[in-house]
Amino acid sequence: MDRIKIIGGEQLNGIIPISGAKNAALPLMIASLLTDDVLTLEDVPHLADVEQLIRILGNHGVDYSVNGRREHQDGVYSRTVHFTARNIVTTTAPYDLVAKMRASFWVIGPLLAREGEATVSLPGGCAIGTRPVDFILDGLRALGADITIDNGYVHARAPKGLKGAEYHFPKVTVGGTHVMLMAASLAKGETVLRNAACEPEVVNLAECLNDMGAQITGAGTPEIRIKGAKSLSGARVRVIPDRIETGTYAMAVAMTGGDVLLKGADPRQLEVVLQTLRQTGTQIEEEAEGIRIRRNSNAITPVDISTEPFPGFPTDLQAQFMGLMTRANGTAKITETVFENRFMHVQELARLGARISLSGQTATIEGVERLKGAQVMATDLRASVALVIAGLAAEGETTVNRVYHLDRGFERLEEKLSACGANIERISG
């Protein structure tokens, strides 16, 4: 099993190109099930989760091809992928595929809308707390679907098609908003979603669906209106830059010091995060090519945060920010409001010398003068990269085990960091 070895203490200087967003690419790929035309996606990242979803879509009869694969001067590839669901060969998504990635459950929306039925295994994914699909199922019921659950599978039927309706999400849910957008795009009449997620990835999907022939207004606000179409066509859509990758590398530079241009990053996606980093003493400049991150030898100022749905501080950057705060000059508090079990990285950071105490959903981090390298274990996707950030500043050697979590969400992480001066390498086997 692969692992990452880091010798800490090196500053980061150079350029890190930001890849297409995983959290945008996955729903865009699933949207290919809504049409028998070709859906072309540009800047699709090469990640384990993307490859897994390609296998899942292939189970339903989606063909794909990759072209326009061009190597930039910085050595990172940009992929253009064409998806074609000319014929849906099965409306069943089996356990052995869905259990590996939670987002794959979202196929239930387009399959039900296009074929009138779907049988989908209840999902798996990161062990970061319960993420019930109840809101998704209630939303589909509001559109007229008949839904039952039996032997771990959700059986959804709408033989006469879905019908537009009003649905108020009891809690903001990005996945639920994605599914309802896709399902309502082929429903008869108008659907109104209230308390919808406002994330940039939701806007990316809505713009894609509009290009395919749906009529969606309000994406990026809590109220979205969708006028369904009888059928949808193909489209060509660019995956937005990955704001979580952007924030992660920004925190890595804040941790180590140095000067890095995050090429292709969009500051509009990360206003709260960038403002928070400025409060830590990090210099941030918006440039034509992206975002420049600088930090000199000044101490890291502690900052308290609370995770919130967009535009608040994202839960997917909580672990990375905790890694940064382990070296702060003082005490910081982090409150996790989105997932109830997303502090599993705490005990691993402690192995590096971090001082962190937990009380309910709040972590109190007492900054230390130095971290020391150790063997650590990745517990989930974002926790794994938090350990990398800490390892970059730790004295001596840090080894991060179970890095398959990293490969799910970070494209060529060790190559990008190494190109900026980090002493980091992947060890296979």
Residue 119: give its domain's CATH number. 3.65.10.10
Domain count, the chain: 2
> Any known ligand binding at 102?
yes
Residue 401's nearest CA partner among 363, 364, 422, 429 is 429
> Among the options 126, 198, 208, 420, which is catalytic?
126
Distance between CA 187 and CA 299 in Å, rounded? Answer: 55
Q: Using CA of residue 264, residue 15, residue 319, residue 333, what is the dihedral sign?
A: negative
Query: Is the bond into 311 cis (omega within 30 degrees of 0)?
Result: yes
Q: What tokens appear for 313 in the block?
A: 């501080």
For 360, residues 6+ apart whose C-beta sits below 8 A from its C-beta are none
End residue of a domain, out of 223, 238, 253: 238
* 371 and 300 inside one domain: yes
The pLDDT, as a whole number, for residue 72 is: 45
CA atoms within 13 A on the CB side of 205: 37
Domain's final residue, options 238, 265, 290: 238
Identify the band that residue 381 occupies on the pLDDT scale cut at 50, 70 and 90: confident
Same-domain pairing of 223 and 304:
no
Task: Determine the 3-state secondary structure of 123 from DSSP.
Answer: coil
Give the residue from 333, 340, 279 showing the smallest Cα distance to 315.
340
Measured in whole angstroms, the distance separating CA 271 from the mean position of its chain's CA atoms is 17
| Tens of pLDDT, residues 77-112 | 678 999 999 999 999 999 988 888 888 999 999 999
72 and 221 belong to one structural domain: yes
List, in sequence order, every residue forming a beta bridge with 357; answer none if it has no partner: 364
Q: Is there a single domain that holds both residue 191 and residue 275?
A: no
Residues 119 and 172 in one domain: yes
226 and 303 share one domain: no
Percent of the chain with pLDDT over 70: 95
* Cross-strand pairs, 20: 241
What's the rounded mean pLDDT across residues 156-176? 96
Same domain for 278 and 349, yes or no, is yes
Mean pLDDT of 171-190: 97
Average pLDDT over residues 142-168: 96
- The mean per-residue pLDDT over the stretch 337-353 comes to 85
- Asked whether residue 227 falls in the same domain as residue 105, the answer is yes
Residues 59 and 90 reside in one and the same domain:
yes
The answer on whether 23 is annotated among ligand-binding residues is yes
Q: Does residue 160 share a domain with residue 26?
A: yes
Same domain, 209 and 298: no
b/e per residue, 122-142, with b = 16+ CB within 10 A?
bbebbebeebebebbbebbeb
- Would you say residue 159 has pLDDT above 50? yes
Q: What is each CA distance from 311 to 7, 44, 154, 269, 304, in whole angstroms?
A: 35, 24, 32, 8, 17
Structural domain span for residue 408: 3-19+241-427
Structure tokens at 419: 């190109």
What is the pLDDT at residue 16?
Answer: 97
Q: What is the dihedral of CA 295, 296, 302, 303, to 10 degrees?
A: -30
CB 16 within 8 A of CB 421: no
Structure tokens at 101: 């990635």
Q: Look at residues 238, 272, 295 and tell me which one is the last residue of a structural domain.
A: 238
Question: Is 22 labelled as part of a ligand binding site?
Answer: yes
- Residue 327 is assigned to a ligand binding site: no
Give Cα separations from 266 to 17, 76, 174, 246, 291 (angstroms): 12, 18, 20, 8, 7
Handedness of CA 404, 407, 412, 417 (dihedral sign): negative
Residue 198 falls in the annotated catalytic set:
no
Q: Is 296 marked as binding a ligand? A: no
Q: Same domain, yes or no, for 111 and 194?
A: yes
